Amino acid sequence: MGASKRLSELCFQAYNEEYKDLNFSIVRFGNVLASSGSIVPKIQNQISLGGPITLTDPEVSRYFMTIKEATELVILSSIITSNQNNIFVLDMGKRIKILDLINKLVRFSGLKIKNKENSYGDIEVKVIGLRPGEKLHEELLVGKNPIKTSHPKILKLVEPLISLKLLKIYLDELSVLLNNNEPIKVQRFLEKIIPNYKADIEITNFANSQNKM
């Protein structure tokens, strides 16, 4: 759950609070298998090319669900919503290690991983390191007191919001910082308007290096 996603939620919450005839449904969930940009097609393509399969970190993990599960639960969330500025979180089950996913996909392809234990394997896994700002483990920010709904796989959250009047002021300030290409100030500003958000030092270092180029 990144700052930009939470900011987009705040925008919808503000408009929903200001205009009572609107009824937005905000739904948080993880990765959808076989969707556009999904990691599974990428791994399958690397397998078809003979490898290597790139992996950011051996411990990296993410939530996954099928397209059918995601679409059904998102539609159901829109039915459950009731103009109360609720945010819904889908039950994604347990996080899955990407390395375990890679091992299964390689095995299902009739191949074997090539590593120190098996130098005669077919596909090598290359660890390339986490990108700036990328998290080791995905978080959906369920909060401390999620509320049950009429569906067992949909939880409801009540998150703090910002009035539309104040939000517009914030967005204007943010726009100026972005137009002036001041990434560090953007991070500090997001920390100010989004509770619990803390800028990642790696992003800050990355921003500094970009400014020097």
Per residue in 159-193, pLDDT (tens digit) is: 888 899 999 999 999 999 999 998 889 888 888 88
156 - beta bridge partners? 88, 147
How far is 190 from 77, CA to CA, in rounded Å? 28
Structural contact between residues 97 and 67, judged by C-beta atoms closer than 8 angstroms: no
pLDDT in tens, 117-139: 888 888 899 999 888 777 788 77
Give 176 or 87, the one with higher predicted confidence. 176
Q: What is the pLDDT of residue 52?
A: 92
pLDDT in tens, 36-78: 778 888 888 899 998 899 999 999 998 888 888 888 888 888 8
Task: Give φ, ψ of 129 to 5 degrees.
Answer: 90, 150
* Domains of the chain, first to last: 24-160 (3.90.25.30)
- Output Rg (C-alpha) for the chain, integer angstroms: 21
Q: HSE, CB side, 13 Å, CA atoms: give it for residue 114.
A: 12
Share of the chain above pLDDT 90, in %: 20
Burial class (CB in 10 A: 0-12, 13-18, 19+), 65: buried
Q: Find all residues with CB under 8 Å of 81, minimum gap 6, and list them.
A: 23, 24, 25, 88
Who contacts 67 (Cβ-Cβ below 8 Å, separation ≥6)? Answer: 32, 33, 34, 35
